[in-house]
Amino acid sequence: MKLKRMITWILVLALLLPCLPFGAQAAGDLGFSMDVSPDTAAIGGNTVVTVSLENYDTASIAGLQVDVEGIDPEILKVIDYRSAIVDPDAASNKASRREGEQLVRLLYFRTSGTLSATCKDVLRMTVQVNSELTEAGSITLPVTMKIVTVDNRQLTLKSSCTIEYQIIEEDTVAGNGVTGVTYTTLKEALTDAKAGETVSLLMDCTMGTVVIPADVTLDLNGKIMTADNVVSFGSVVDTAESVGGIRIDIDTAKAFTKLQPENAGYLPVYDTRDGMYKFFAYDVESNKVTAIDGERVVFYNRVVFNKLEGYEVLANTENSGIDFELIMSWTGMTGFDVRYTVSDDTLRSYAQAAYDKINATGTNTKAITATIKGIGKLGEDGWITAAPGVKTVAEVTDSADELTYRVKEG
């Protein structure tokens, strides 16, 4: 029955493509709107497009498709795209990018029930204005929403949103991606930033002490920031295609960097060749767990970067500044765990193997493994869960403060 119902709804969704046009929206009718923030972006800066439902006050939507088209890569680079709908029971609730078609698409549907009547925002997309543009201008993106309701009505709603962009002044160092305000100093931009906002570097800069407030994101944006000290209560990311980084002034006696444990999914890897920390989006994959003789369990994990350069830097630097730590916790044994840390040499070996495979220069692949013995002593009711994590530690000086690391020459 479940399979039959799924097939039925897939067929219903197929009807989204030839949906009948829905007439001009009258007051109180179901519709949608777009918000562009900031209204005018700086060339080289980011802007966020949010698609939201309007006048949706009855639970009637079973499926919808949102297409944002005309994303010209000569003008805009898509940084992020995701569904804004929170619905763990949805059969599909995923945004995808079709680069060749200059399109970002959201596909949402349920096999039973409907979209919550409290839902407003449905799609959120972040784009970056091409930093090589030399003139101010604008780009209009057609947006189409196709809807299937529980009573089998098929609606097609059309609109568009316009992103305007302007040339930044020569002395502009940073910009706020939400408000659109630009600043001549990074310090001023970070001081003015509020929770949930992103400050993007628009040119290389040199600072003393840099403090990133809580819930504020600093986007290096492919630029290089040189500083005496960096303390982040928020997040540090680098969304640009070209990789930037943070260069700590190693001549400063107390130079240090401190990041929060969850740095928005971006891992700083120290590149000794360029003398800076470069930030790469990453994920930790748990591939498999193998039991051996009922006494030993081997965990296999991988660090996966979204850029090839992440592997290349990790494989070819003398001090990556990373410890890979796998934490095993036993059920029924509160407060007891085993921490397994992989050495820098092992990480480099793994990264080189992954890098070779991606470049088709070798077929060897490696996973980071941890073998735990004495499993049989746990008894029949004992079992293990693994929670892999990555610590950003260049030189551990205090185990109680293991996310503080100091930069040393060489």
Q: Are residues 338 and 214 in the same domain?
A: no
Q: Is the residue at 87 inside a domain?
A: yes
Please give the pLDDT value at position 361: 61
Q: Are residues 230 and 296 in the same domain?
A: no
Sign of CA dihedral 3, 9, 11, 17: negative
Average pLDDT over residues 204-232: 90
Q: Is the residue at 98 inside a domain?
A: yes
Distance of CA 383 to the CA centre of its chain: 32
Indicate if the pLDDT at residue 252 is higher than 70: no
Detail the DSSP E strand segments found in 111-153: 121-129, 137-149
Residue 304 belongs to a domain with what CATH number? 2.60.40
Give this prediction's pTM. Answer: 0.68
Indicate if the pLDDT at residue 254 is higher than 70: no
**Environment class of 223 (CB within 10 Å of its CB; exposed 0-12, middle 13-18, buried 19+):** buried
241 versus 332: the higher-pLDDT residue is 241
| For the ranges 72-76, 251-255, 293-297, 329-333, the one whose mean pLDDT is highest | 72-76
Q: Which of 229, 264, 299 is the last residue before a domain boundary?
A: 264
Indicate if the pLDDT at residue 356 is higher than 60: yes
Give 174's pLDDT tier (boundaries 50, 70, 90). Answer: very high
Q: Are residues 157 and 40 in the same domain?
A: yes
Q: Are residues 159 and 191 in the same domain?
A: no
Output the CA–CA distances (angstroms, integers) from residue 123 to 56, 82, 103, 141, 367, in the order listed: 15, 6, 13, 14, 35
Q: Are residues 70 and 183 in the same domain?
A: no
Q: Are residues 258 and 307 in the same domain?
A: no
Q: Are residues 175 and 218 in the same domain?
A: yes
Q: Are residues 125 and 135 in the same domain?
A: yes
Q: Are residues 245 and 128 in the same domain?
A: no
Residue 384 contacts residue 327 (beta carbons within 8 Å)? no
Least confident of 33-47, 212-226, 396-410: 396-410
247 versus 69: the higher-pLDDT residue is 69
Q: Is the residue at 403 inside a domain?
A: no
Name the strand (E) or helix (H) holding 308.
helix 308-316
Model pLDDT for residues 116-148, shown as the tens digit of each residue: 888 899 999 989 898 888 899 999 999 999 999
**Amino acid (one-letter) located at 259:** L
Q: Which domain covers residue 95, as residue numbers?
A: 2-8+32-166
Please give the pLDDT value at position 69: 95
Average pLDDT over residues 241-262: 72
Residue 109 belongs to a domain with what CATH number? 2.60.40.680
Residue 257 contacts residue 405 (beta carbons within 8 Å)? yes
Structural domain total, the chain? 3
Name the strand (E) or helix (H) holding 10.
helix 2-14
Indicate if the pLDDT at residue 33 is higher than 80: yes
Please give the pLDDT value at position 170: 75
Residue 276 contacts residue 224 (beta carbons within 8 Å)? yes
Residue whose C-alpha is closest to residue 230's, from 221, 218, 215: 218
Least confident of 62-66, 200-204, 245-249: 245-249
Question: b/e per residue, 344-355, with b = 16+ CB within 10 A?
Answer: beebbbbbbbbb
Model pLDDT for residues 140-170, shown as the tens digit of each residue: 999 999 999 887 788 899 999 999 998 877 7
**Environment class of 203 (CB within 10 Å of its CB; exposed 0-12, middle 13-18, buried 19+):** middle
Helix, strand, coil share of the chain (percent; to 5)? 15, 45, 40
Q: Are residues 98 and 176 in the same domain?
A: no
Q: What does the chain come to in residues?
A: 410
User: Where do runs of H (alpha helix) occur along 119-236?
Assistant: 186-192
Percent of the chain with pLDDT over 90: 26
Q: Are residues 287 and 372 in the same domain?
A: yes
Indicate if the pLDDT at residue 64 is higher than 50: yes
Q: Is the residue at 148 inside a domain?
A: yes
